[in-house]
Amino acid sequence: MQTLGQGGFGKTYLAVDEDRLKSRCVIKQFAPQVQGKSMEKAIQLFNQEAVRLDELGEHAKFPPC
């Protein structure tokens, strides 16, 4: 639908999940501007963020969107 933001590791978009009742969602595209050891760290941080966001999405105190 639209770009929400971008930084050193990629872009974030607002989208519609066609498979989940056309609900709104956020997609984060991993596109770092680094190489070597920095790339390894970027991958690690991106994966950690994905895990945390998934945990928040399942948390009882957050209502489903």
Report the C-alpha gap between 37 and 43 in whole angstroms: 10
Q: Does the pLDDT at position 13 exceed 90?
A: yes
30 or 65, greater pLDDT: 30
Residue 63 maps to a domain: no
CB 63 within 8 A of CB 50: no
- Domain extent, residue 52, equals 2-57
Q: Domain tally for the chain?
A: 1
Residue 28 maps to a domain: yes
pLDDT the model gives residue 22 = 80
- Average per-residue pLDDT in the chain? 83
Residue 64 maps to a domain: no
Residue 20 maps to a domain: yes
